[in-house]
């Protein structure tokens, strides 16, 4: 019935029919609208919704905004619009910096067999700050994408890279039930190179009360021990125990504190927990990985995912940089530890566009893995903009070049401005190639926050309004780009997906 209403473009897959009411999403205008059709002229049900109301062939019709109030109401009626804990199911985090990529993400999940659990409400606190979005906006944008696509098979949430209790509270309030803890600020990176006497002093002054163990007992647990795992043996020498304790001791204590805070705040509701130590200066060795998880387990922490820093370079927006055989050999040990001492999933952070290692990661984890992506969906948005309005895209790229040296500071990137194509020297056709150029791609990737929040001299957004207008007007094209790009990401993992 909804599809018969003239002048509306109801997405067929969005239609929900209850005994008395029909719901759907209209895309006839640049801004999507919620459509509710009551099967009678009695509109008492519609009184709780906002929007324009009229009679249509004896029925009450409402056209309303896709706002936070309506998102909250829809969740009360349709539980599948709420995120759920993912557990150990093979999963993919599909971050969305602009709030429009979810339809493409869902279609990629469908195209790869619907075997992966999508984590659709995902954004780091750092990204929220840079794009001026709130946890509630991230959650609601995911809901409208799920609603519009008619996806009823579940999705997860990930309040990513949390570092403060205030951020925990905001994300819990927004409905998140997946959390990634980032204790990176508490990791002592210099521990690996400290002289022995300084190392010993640092070791003795670790927060042993919070770690609930004495220095002697900590050493006794690990020194000169050999642990057998599926892909080999891991021998831990005494000095390695001390260096690992100094490097990660404060971080382990902090994770313990955060875990119990979350447990209390969630009030018995189930939640996913991931622990991230990937944003450190040096890789996480198998020995360090082993000690970290054994200590967390001893302290009663329960988690579903761990993100070590793996060897090689995981730079933003480009493929893995490093020796693939060396990566496979060490990654196999990490995967064995996760199976033997968990089980828990290994999480691949900065996972976008790492096509060369996906088969290795999928095979070695046997599906016990989480792929985390974010900025690559933004790059597909820019690809769409370059097709639709080359002049506008050229201005975005020129601005990104101006901002790059500042914005790159908190990211692992190696792009050089001097090696990137100059905006003025490119034809409109050549502009599209920027999205496949190593240097230009990273420049565009890490400057997203500056681009979407840049102010014009008149106090308006310089780029964001036009960017969102174009994408909303041509959402089908953007969705096609996202779907095609993510099929490449997801296919290797779908082939080994675990559903447990």
Catalytic residues: 160, 274
Q: H or E stretch including 390?
A: helix 390-407
- Which of 497, 353, 381, 444 is closest to 103 using CA atoms? 381
Q: CB within 8 A of 78, min separation 6: which ones?
A: 16
Decide: 245 and 287 in contact? Cβ < 8 Å: no
Decide: 168 and 162 in contact? Cβ < 8 Å: yes
The C-alpha atoms of residue 138 and residue 325 are separated, in whole angstroms, by 38
At residue 37, what are phi and psi to the nearest 5 degrees?
Answer: -120, 115
Sign of CA dihedral 332, 334, 340, 343: negative
The C-alpha atoms of residue 268 and residue 270 are separated, in whole angstroms, by 6
Q: CB within 8 A of 62, min separation 6: which ones?
A: 34, 35, 36, 37, 38, 43, 46, 49, 51, 52, 53
**Reduced to 3 states, what is the DSSP secondary structure of residue 187?**
coil
In angstroms, how far is the first alpha carbon of the chain from the final one?
A: 39
Decide: 159 and 180 in contact? Cβ < 8 Å: yes
Neighbours of 111 (CB within 10 A): 15
Query: Which pairing describes strands 117-124 and 59-65: parallel, antiparallel, or unpaired?
Result: unpaired
Decide: 266 and 240 in contact? Cβ < 8 Å: no
At residue 207, what are phi and psi to the nearest 5 degrees?
Answer: -75, 70
- Which of 211, 142, 139, 208 is closest to 175 using CA atoms? 139
* E strand segments, 100-244: 117-124, 156-162, 178-181, 225-229, 232-236
Q: What is the largest CA-CA distance in the chain?
A: 85
Q: H or E stretch including 275?
A: strand 272-276
Tokens of 3: 């599809």
The C-alpha atoms of residue 335 and residue 230 are separated, in whole angstroms, by 9
Decide: 311 and 322 in contact? Cβ < 8 Å: yes
| HSE-up (13 A, CA, CB side) for residue 80 | 12
């Amino acid at each position: 019935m909804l599809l018969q209403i003239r002048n509306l473009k109801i997405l067929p897959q969005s239609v929900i029919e209850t005994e008395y009411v029909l719901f759907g999403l209209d895309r006839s205008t640049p801004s999507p609208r919620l459509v509710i059709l009551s099967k009678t002229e009695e509109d008492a049900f519609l009184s709780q919704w906002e929007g324009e109301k009229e009679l249509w062939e004896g029925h009450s019709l409402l056209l309303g905004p896709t706002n936070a109030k309506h998102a909250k109401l829809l969740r009360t009626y349709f539980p599948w619009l709420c995120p759920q804990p993912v557990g150990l199911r093979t999963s993919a985090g599909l971050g969305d910096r602009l709030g429009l990529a979810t339809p493409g993400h869902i279609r990629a999940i469908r195209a790869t067999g619907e075997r992966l659990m999508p984590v659709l409400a995902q954004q780091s606190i750092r990204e929220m700050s840079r794009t001026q979005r709130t946890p509630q906006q991230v959650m609601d944008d995911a809901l409208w994408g799920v609603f519009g696509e008619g996806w009823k098979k579940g999705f997860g949430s990930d309040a990513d890279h949390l570092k403060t209790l205030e951020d925990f509270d905001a994300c819990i309030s927004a409905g998140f039930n997946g959390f990634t803890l980032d204790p990176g600020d508490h990791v002592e990176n210099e521990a690996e190179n400290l002289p022995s006497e300084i190392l010993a002093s640092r070791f003795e002054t670790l927060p042993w009360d919070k770690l609930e163990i004495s220095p002697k007992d900590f050493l006794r647990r690990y020194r000169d021990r050999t642990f057998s795992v599926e892909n080999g043996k891991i021998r831990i020498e005494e000095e390695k125990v001390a260096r690992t304790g100094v490097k990660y001791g404060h971080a382990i204590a902090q994770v313990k504190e955060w875990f119990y805070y979350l447990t209390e705040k969630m009030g018995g509701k189930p939640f996913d927990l991931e622990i991230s130590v990937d944003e450190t200066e040096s890789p996480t060795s198998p020995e360090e990985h082993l000690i970290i998880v054994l200590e967390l387990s001893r302290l009663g922490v329960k988690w579903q995912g761990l993100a070590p820093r793996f060897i090689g370079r995981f730079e933003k927006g480009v493929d893995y940089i490093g020796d693939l055989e060396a990566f496979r050999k060490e990654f196999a040990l990490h995967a064995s530890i996760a199976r033997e001492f968990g089980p828990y999933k290994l999480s691949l952070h900065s996972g976008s566009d790492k096509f060369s290692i996906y088969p290795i990661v999928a095979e070695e984890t046997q599906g016990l893995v989480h792929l985390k992506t974010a900025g690559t969906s933004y790059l597909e948005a820019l690809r769409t903009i370059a097709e639709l309005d080359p002049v506008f895209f050229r201005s975005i790229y020129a601005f990104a070049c101006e901002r790059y040296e500042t914005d790159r500071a908190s990211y692992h990137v190696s792009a050089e401005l001097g090696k990137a194509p100059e905006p003025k020297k490119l034809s409109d056709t050549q502009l599209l190639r920027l999205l496949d150029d190593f240097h230009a791609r990273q420049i565009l990737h890490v400057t997203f926050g500056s681009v979407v929040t840049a102010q014009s001299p008149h106090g308006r957004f310089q780029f964001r309004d036009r960017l969102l207008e174009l994408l909303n007007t041509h959402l089908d094209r953007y969705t096609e780009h996202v779907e095609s790009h993510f099929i490449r990401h997801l296919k290797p993992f779908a082939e080994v997906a675990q559903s447990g």
